[in-house]
Amino acid sequence: MWRDDVNRFGLIALATDLTIEGDAQRLLPPGCRLHVTRIAFDNPTTAENLKKTGPHLKAASDLLVPGVALKGIAFGCTSASAVLGDGVQQAIGSRAPVSTPVAAALRGFAALGVTRIALMTPYLRETTDLVGDHFQANGLDVVSRRSMGHADDRDMALLSADEIVEFAQASDHPQAEALFMSCTALPAVSVIERLEETIGKPVLSSNLALFWSMLDIARIPAQGTGRLFQVRTW
């Protein structure tokens, strides 16, 4: 196994995701390098199509700089990781710690002491429920769910910052301790601090949680956007 002084991470992204590498560049600190491979994905984001990503994960992980040590491997799809659950780890194997957006969000909310969230997504309602139900099954109280109604993640990636902020603000709930913005294709990282200031509570996006969790598991200090990036669990 080749090793060097660079903190190397692997990412398995969907073929149609226009956003995740840009967010990684924004969130990963100096000294880190992200190696990316992609898997086929057919829109719309239905449970049936999301389940089809599972059989591609092992071959994709094998393409991530073979023989080179990685600090972690991420699967970049929130709704698919909710559908597949522990199957993501089983498919990828034990080469490096595996992170998914839903597992990362659960880890992040636990680190923040949050137990009740509002959920907003760019998805169809049925896809939103896949994510919300996964959180509920893993101990989070999802007090509200709102969906923007898009079926294709390329449309989600082209939403403007103002559209995202407006919908996110409307998705907040008085009983929620935090807001989660789902979907790795959603360009939401740039509006996190703006939203946290407006609604007065932590705001997590899929990519924010994913890359925070990868760094936290690897015990790599980082200072990124939003309240979550001020938290360490080690």
Cα–Cα distances (Å) from 221 to 27, 28, 87, 146, 172, in that order, read: 12, 10, 29, 34, 30
CA-based nearest residue to 81, from 51, 111, 109: 51
**Torsion angle of the four alpha carbons 85, 164, 120, 45, in this order, in degrees rounded to the nearest 10:** -50
Provide the angle, in degrees to the nearest 10, between the axes of the packed helices 125-137 and 101-112: 50
Given the candidates 3.40.50.10070, 3.40.50.12500, 3.40.50.620, 3.30.470.10, the CATH classification of the domain at 103-207 is: 3.40.50.12500
SS3 state of residue 144: strand
pLDDT value, residue 22: 96
How is domain 7-100 classified at the CATH fold level? Rossmann fold (3.40.50)
- Phi, psi angles (nearest 5°) of residue 232: -125, 150
- Which strands, in side-by-side order, build the sheet including 178-181? 141-147, 116-121, 178-181, 203-205
SS3 state of residue 99: strand
Any idea what DSSP says for residue 113? T
Residue type, 142: V
pLDDT value, residue 47: 81
pLDDT value, residue 3: 81
pTM of the model: 0.96
pLDDT value, residue 175: 98
Are residues 67 and 2 in contact, defined by beta-carbon separation less than 8 angstroms? yes
Q: Which residues contact 95 (CB under 8 A, 6 or more apart)?
A: 61, 70, 73
pLDDT value, residue 54: 93
- The parts of the chain modelled with pLDDT lower than 50 are none
Domains 7-100 and 103-207 equal at CATH topology level: yes
Q: Where are the domains of the chain?
A: 7-100, 103-207
Q: What span, in angstroms and rounded, lies between the C-alpha atoms of 218 and 232? A: 11
Q: What is the mean pLDDT of the chain?
A: 95
